[in-house]
Structure 1
Amino acid sequence: MSIVRKIKNNLFVRNCWIAFEHLKRFFCGRSQFAQCAESVVIIPPYSFGNPKNIVLGPNIGLGPNAHISALNARFICKGNCAIAENLTVHTGNHARVVGMYVTDITEANKPKGYDLDVVVEEDVWIGSNVTLLAGVTIGRGCTIAAGAVVAKSMPPYSICGGVPAKFIKFYWTIDQILEHEAKLYPDSDRYMRQHLEQIFRKYNSSI
């Protein structure tokens, strides 16, 4: 057994490291983030792995017990989002390598392509106990049901839920979405009817 492995398996060393990591993540000021707007409200306790890869836009409410791991890829929440307790975000994935125990695979020897950004667009509601996995984008105006494990991207103004999470339905009609967007966004940022019709056809046909 290698010296490194003996150290990693030492219970005292492991417990000290875990305690240090939890303390470091708990005392996380706004200056440690890539971006954290003044209007962001974060309710402790929380755990942020590498806050330099975390972007929090304006008017975000983040409930207690959030765990966001953003070691090699970013977590981006664009703004005006309500996030309930126990959010878990993983921007990375574990790898399996022939001839290596999973416990011996580190960030240095892990194959490329396992770490991807997680993006939450504007005006999103995320229920309690939701997990967002690497590479997903949650579309503008989306609602994620409590307990969902989101492993693939979700369209705007949709409701999704389950394990793994699936598209359930659109929250509003196209006319309602256009009315909503006209009240909140400038012309250049709004969804066009044609684009929404394409999205509706794609996802309604998959139900």
Structure 2
Amino acid sequence: MPELTPEEWTAVALSLRIAAVATLASLPFAIAVAHLLARRDFPGKTLVDGLVHLPLVLPPVVTGYLLLLLFGKRGPLGAFLADFGIVFSFRWTGAALACAVMGFPLMVRAIRLSFEAVDRRLEAAAGTLGAGPFAVFATVTLPLALPGVLVGAILCFAKALGEFGATITFVSNIPGETQTLSAAIYTFTQIPGGDAGALRLTVVAVVIALGALVLSEWLQRRASRRVAVYA
């Protein structure tokens, strides 16, 4: 690993913090939405599915601008939340929100595919033994879908770690507050003599991203073996 300056370490630590918060905060919602799309048919399902995946096809700058309109200090949601001391615009919490929105579709897709692969006969068998819907979900469906949940969470984390367009549009590029790894690399490319700093942070980004992918594969295999034993 290259030797980083204190400012560069701050950007790396902030990126990891934002990615972790974005992943953990959005995981329960992703599980709920993925289960809804995998197990329920309802009017407007196609529209809901499209809205969930919209951040994947929209330019990230558009997503960031929409977040600014909604959660900015003068936005309808931002002004309401500000009364309770919750502020997103130009704060690291806003960066976490932007990263969560951008990574949410990847998480939902992976978890949904995992739910769809669960044998419904196992769920029906648990129901005949007296388990209620929530008990069936908690003791049968979710454990069997665990590999997909882990993969979805790590994909969201990796996406959040590399997010740039939506984040810089929504919360700007403030050192120590919203300057993530990607934003710091961009800043280095815009100043004379910044190539060395950009290269150092690029190496760090590659190492972290590769580590996340390797960890995802390892966790998926481990979880799959456990599921195979209990299935």
Instruction: Looking at secondary structure, tell me which structure has more helix per residue.
Output: 2
For CA contacts below 8 A with separation 6 or more, give which structure has more relative contact order.
2
Instruction: Looking at secondary structure, tell me which structure has more strand per residue.
Output: 1
Q: Normalization by structure 1: what TM-score?
A: 0.26
